[in-house]
Structure 1
Amino acid sequence: MSDEPRVHLSRSAPTAYRALHTMAKTVGALADEAGIEPRLRELVQIHASQLNGCAYCVRVHVDRATAAGLTADVIAQVAVWRDSGVFSERERAALELTEAHVHIDRGGIADDVYERVGGILSEKEYVALSWILVSINAFNRVAIAGRYPVPPRDGEQA
């Protein structure tokens, strides 16, 4: 794959991007109403972005997770959540739901996942998290399609 820049979708169609941003704000309000705390929001958005291969969104949500108080250790454990003891049952359910949404092309949300996750999360939480996942998957696709850069930060080496 080339590192050549591509059309920057958000700059090239600002009206469409603003609509996506508005949707994300609406989803955030839905998450607030459902009691989805910032830690959980960022965990699922980091994991979806990892699975989708969106380095740009991983950086954005790691920064937000850090601001929300997540430690480097917890953030590093997201990719291996099944084998890690740092996540609550509710977080584990949300991370499983994340994987189902990212891989929705593999037959939708499997019944066993739906039942397991639904036995842990309330319907309001399930709905809010699902909308967060719809939103982050859309943002991942915008950033990946445009090859949004993730340069080293000041003082870091490439």
Structure 2
Amino acid sequence: MAQFSSRIAYADFNQMAPAIRTALIDLASAAVEAGIEKDLLELIKLRVSQINGCAFCLQYHLNIARGLDVKPEKLDLVAAWRDAGVYSERECAALAWAELVTCVAQEHITDEDFASVRAQFSEKEVVFLTGAICAINSWNRLSVAFRFPPPPRE
């Protein structure tokens, strides 16, 4: 196994930059306050963290999702959500939107893409869902850049 060491410890980051931590937590929390389901948001955070290769956020959000009693098959199959057959239309729309927003540099988001997510979410929900996607992308980039080690499995 390759040796792994943090560049900046997660606890040190939180101590050095509490304003960044608070801003990202507030951004992600706004989606819950807007009424988007917590379990759905955790699936989004897992998928985005997979795309970005963020071990810290994967383990962190798996712990939260398990605590919310998200079905194990949904956690196990989120990387292959399109072919899994276990996600609702709303979950599929959110996962597709999360991938598009995360990979916006590779492929622009079309009007058809926006219409697809709008078929399952109100305009306000799309705004807050997108904010949550932006927040987890930011966490992923911080975690990968500083090599935060994954937290223990709960």
- Please, which runs of 5 or more residues in structure 2 have no aligned partner? none
> Which residue of 1 is the match for residue 129 of structure 2?
129
1:104 is paired with a residue of what secondary structure?
A: coil
Call closer, same or farther: CA 1:25–1:142 in 2, change over 3 Å: closer
**Aligned-pair identity (%):** 36
Q: Which runs of 4+ in 1 moved over 3 A?
A: 12-16, 150-154
Distance 1:4 1:80 in 2: 28
2:114 is paired with a residue of what secondary structure?
A: helix
Structure showing greater relative contact order (alpha-carbon pairs closer than 8 Å, 6 or more residues apart): 2
> Which residue of 2 is the match for residue 51 of structure 1?
51
RMSD over aligned CA atoms reads 2.3
1:126 is paired with a residue of what secondary structure?
A: helix
Q: Is the 8 A contact 2:9 2:148 kept in 1?
A: no
Distance 2:137 2:39 in 1: 18
- Please, which runs of 5 or more residues in structure 1 have no aligned partner? none
- Bigger mean CA deviation after superposition, 5-14 or 75-84: 5-14
Call closer, same or farther: CA 1:14–1:90 in 2, change over 3 Å: same
Distance 2:132 2:40 in 1: 11
> Which residue of 2 is the match for residue 81 of structure 1?
81
Give the TM-score normalised by structure 1: 0.84
Q: How many residues are treated as equivalent by the alignment?
A: 152
> Which residue of 1 is the match for residue 115 of structure 2?
115
Distance 1:31 1:12 in 2: 24
> Which residue of 1 is the match for residue 40 of structure 2?
40
> Which residue of 2 is the match for residue 62 of structure 1?
62
Offset, 1:108:
3.4
Distance 2:123 2:141 in 1: 27
Offset, 1:107:
3.9
Structure 2 counterpart of 1:22, one-letter code: T
> Which residue of 2 is the match for residue 140 of structure 1?
140
Call closer, same or farther: CA 1:88–1:153 in 2, change over 3 Å: closer
Offset, 1:56:
0.9
Give the TM-score normalised by structure 2: 0.86
Offset, 1:4:
4.8
